[in-house]
Structure 1
């Protein structure tokens, strides 16, 4: 931001900057994807039941993965290898954040400057990731997804939202 007027205008708003997606993505299959808590994680729609979603994740570094339904039932396809939900999650993460950013976050070493989802999953599979129980993880990710959905139902407003008003009330120096 240039100048103090930009800073003051931003500081006084209740909106945060959103990084635009690397490419446009469709939200029907993977409505929620994030790089958070040392994992690529998100919510993936079921291909067979419109009322069922899966919470899938891949950990950075060791690429341990978890996939279960929103009711904490284990995914039948995530037994010893990435299931289709995790593959879809990685694909949408590449669309949302770009292949290089996802690879860097998950600590996947690839020679390609902008890796594809297939290259990322292939490299992670080569590391022989293990499935891990994810009941606590699934609940937290699904809860965050539901909270994001709730924000979509709010009428547009410039008024601050109390639960998002955690910034300090005074201006601090920026180094």
Structure 2
């Protein structure tokens, strides 16, 4: 049995490629959805909580104040497109396609082919009930950025996966 199999921690998978956090500061594959927070292109104070459901591609996009996105009428808006692009950078196109259950016909999936393939299925709008929990997780992640630098353990992070080798 290897050290990894005996440890109680999970491996942290590094991003497929580095990404800039200004446009999409938070992206995750969770709860059967690709979901995250996307910055507004027109208002620095506004963010959108966007999601796409695995398999059905039902989508939701609303502001942090629960106002619906004006661009998500009848299909994916630019916020969802940006979310897909950043998810591909973070997790890799194959992993995102597998999670969302997207069959890309021609070659390896890309952010553009995932967006196009899902958009061709005429996805329907979903309710945005999950937006509050996604935004709450995003705010919790932001809180860690405000902590002073330290090497001391954070009690609330003890559950978090360790990247150091276990002896």
What is the Cα-based RMSD across aligned positions, in Å?
2.2
Show the counterpart of 2:144: 151
Q: What is the distance in 2 between the residues matched to 1:3 and 1:105?
A: 28
Show the counterpart of 1:171: none
3-state SS of 1:20 partner: coil
Q: Of residues 123, 132, 135 in structure 2, which corresponds to 1:139?
A: 132
Shift in Å at residue 164 of structure 1?
3.6
Gaps of at least 5 residues in structure 2 are 161-167
* 1:65 and 1:82 in contact (8 A); partners too: yes
Q: What is the distance in 2 between the residues matched to 1:108 and 1:62?
A: 10
Q: How many residues align?
A: 159
Equivalent residues in 2 for 1:12-161 (5 A)? 17-112=11-106, 114-134=108-128, 136-154=129-147, 155-161=149-155
Q: CA 1:166–1:3 in structure 2 vs 1: closer, same or farther (change >3 Å)? A: closer
* 1:100 and 1:113 in contact (8 A); partners too: no
Q: CA 1:85–1:103 in structure 2 vs 1: closer, same or farther (change >3 Å)? A: same
Q: What is the distance in 2 between the residues matched to 1:98 and 1:166?
A: 25
Shift in Å at residue 17 of structure 1?
4.2
TM-score by length of 1: 0.82
Q: CA 1:3–1:141 in structure 2 vs 1: closer, same or farther (change >3 Å)? A: closer
Structure 1 segments of 4+ aligned residues over 4 angstroms from their partners: none
TM-score by length of 2: 0.86
Per mean C-alpha deviation after superposition, the further-off stretch among 66-75 and 109-118 is 109-118
**Over alpha carbons, which structure has the higher Rg?**
1
Shift in Å at residue 123 of structure 1?
0.7
